[in-house]
Structure 1
Amino acid sequence: MKTFTKYFFAFWFLAFLLFAYWQLNDPDPEIWVSVYVAAALFSALAFKGKHPLIPLSIGIIACIIGAVYFFPDSVWDWIGFELEHKDLSMKTQESEEARETFGLLIVAIVMSVSAFVGWRKKASINKT
């Protein structure tokens, strides 16, 4: 299991750096580049076996609040729009916000995995 988690966090470290790079031409890059760089840093820490539970918890809560804020009126309309156009360029503000919602949810999920691994690690240390 230890090897799997190392590969998991290595993958997300690289993916979040790539996501940050793609955000450089976003209308508000300072927000989204920062979010993905922070997620990459948490993934790098997790790769090294460090899981700072309080900062991770704050990050998870912030991402969930942001995802709720940006959540599109209709997820199915957005998915249909994306599939219909088969084009990843931003067409509407709603499609951009939908993508930002799912980006935040991905960050929250990966940070939650790190927090869970850290919590289990801490619990096993406290047992001994």
Structure 2
Amino acid sequence: MWWLQILNIIFFLSFLLFAYFNLNDKDSWLWVPIYVLAAVLCGLAVLNRYFHIVYLGAIGFYLAYASILFFVKDGVLDWFTKYKRQSIVESMQATKPYIEKTREFFGLLIISTALGLNYYVSA
């Protein structure tokens, strides 16, 4: 499917860029590997190389971590209820913990969707 290859190229480049942006973060030890793994898997999908067990393991980890970010103090649920969904895109510097956790949550959902799509199409 040509559209999936184009989508995987976009995901590959985007996830590499996101990994680069996270190099200077205090938690780069976590986020750089998260984005690099997703980039590598999407890059390999462009070459019609799929690794189902790795997809399932990565998706499981990403969704488990997203669940934690949703319910943790100053997480997504607090952003939604307590902080009245304040904008998370006004500034690239996340000065409030709920903004950082909400951005990370949505990043994990995007990665999980990309890998889930590859898993589904290649199964």
Which structure is higher in helix share?
1
Aligned residue in 2 for 1:21: 20
Q: Which amino acid aligns with 1:20?
A: A
Q: Which amino acid aligns with 2:117?
A: V
1:112 and 2:109 aligned: no
**CA distance, structure 2, for counterparts of residue 16 and residue 22 of structure 1:** 10
**What is the total number of aligned residue pairs between the two structures?**
116
**CA distance, structure 2, for counterparts of residue 48 and residue 107 of structure 1:** 19
Provide the identity percentage. Answer: 28
1:38 and 2:34 aligned: no
Unaligned runs of 5+ in 1: 120-128
**CA distance, structure 1, for counterparts of residue 108 and residue 101 of structure 2:** 10
What TM-score, normalized by structure 1, do the two folds share?
0.84
Q: Which amino acid aligns with 2:121?
A: V
Q: 1:94 to 1:115 in 2, by over 3 A?
A: same
Does the CA-based 8 Å contact 2:88-2:103 persist in structure 1? no
Does the CA-based 8 Å contact 1:63-1:108 persist in structure 2? yes
For residues 1-128 of structure 1, the aligned pairs below 5 Å read: 2-71=1-70, 72-76=76-80, 77=83, 79-82=85-88, 86-119=90-123
Instruction: Please state how far the C-alpha of 1:69 moved relative to its aligned partner.
Output: 0.5
Does the CA-based 8 Å contact 2:78-2:98 persist in structure 1? no
**CA distance, structure 2, for counterparts of residue 102 and residue 80 of structure 1:** 15
Q: Which amino acid aligns with 1:99?
A: R
**CA distance, structure 1, for counterparts of residue 106 and residue 121 of structure 2:** 23
Which structure's CA Rg is the greater one?
1
Instruction: Please state how far the C-alpha of 1:75 moved relative to its aligned partner.
Output: 4.3
Query: What's the C-alpha RMSD, in Å, of the aligned pairs?
Result: 1.5
Unaligned runs of 5+ in 2: 71-75
Instruction: Please state how far the C-alpha of 1:25 moved relative to its aligned partner.
Output: 1.5
What TM-score, normalized by structure 2, do the two folds share?
0.87
**CA distance, structure 2, for counterparts of residue 78 and residue 88 of structure 1:** 20
Instruction: Please state how far the C-alpha of 1:78 moved relative to its aligned partner.
Output: 6.7
Instruction: Please state how far the C-alpha of 1:80 moved relative to its aligned partner.
Output: 1.9
